[in-house]
C-alpha cells in the first residue's frame, strides 16, 4: 500500500507562516445564538443553532440547528484560547458585554450551570 502524505504542515511551519484563506465550495456563513457541545475521547464537537420559538406553557424552546463542527482535542484547545483572547480584546476596545440575569441557567456542562464572568 502506498504511503499517503499528511497535508498538515509541521507546527514550526504554521507558527511562522502567513495564512492565505480560500473559501471551499461548501463554505457558508450562518448566524447562531445557541450552541451545544459534545466530546468523545477523540474529538470535540459544537452544534450551532438559532432559537426560533418558545412555549412558556411547556417551557420548551425550539432551536433550528444550522451546522456541526468537529475538532481534534488540540484544535479545540487552541480554538478556545483564541476565543478567550478575542473576547478580551473586544471588551477592552468596546466595553464589557452585559450578561442578563439568569443566563447561567442556560449555560450548562454536564447538567451544572457554568458561571459567566
pLDDT computed for residue 3 by the predictor? 64
pLDDT computed for residue 84 by the predictor? 95
Concatenate the DSSP letters of all residues of 56-91 into one string.
Answer: TTTTEEEEEEEEEEEE-HHHHHHHHHHHHHHHHHHH
pLDDT computed for residue 60 by the predictor? 87
| pTM reported for the whole predicted model | 0.74
Low-confidence ranges of the chain (pLDDT < 70): 1-16, 102-106
Separation CA 78–CA 81 (nearest Å): 5
DSSP state of 48: E
Closest to 104 (Cα-Cα) out of 116, 95, 87: 116
Amino acid at each position: 500500500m502506498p504511503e499517503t502524505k499528511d497535508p498538515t504542515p509541521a507546527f514550526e511551519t504554521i507558527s511562522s507562516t502567513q495564512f492565505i484563506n480560500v473559501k471551499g465550495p461548501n463554505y457558508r456563513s450562518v448566524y447562531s445564538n445557541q450552541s451545544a457541545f459534545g466530546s468523545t475521547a477523540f474529538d470535540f464537537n459544537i452544534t450551532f443553532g438559532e432559537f426560533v420559538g418558545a412555549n412558556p406553557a411547556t417551557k420548551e424552546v425550539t432551536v433550528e440547528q444550522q451546522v456541526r463542527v468537529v475538532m481534534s482535542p488540540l484544535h479545540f484547545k487552541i480554538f478556545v484560547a483564541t476565543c478567550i483572547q478575542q473576547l478580551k480584546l473586544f471588551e477592552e476596545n468596546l466595553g464589557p458585554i452585559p450578561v442578563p440575569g439568569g443566563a447561567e441557567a442556560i449555560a450548562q456542562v454536564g447538567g451544572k450551570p457554568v458561571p459567566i464572568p
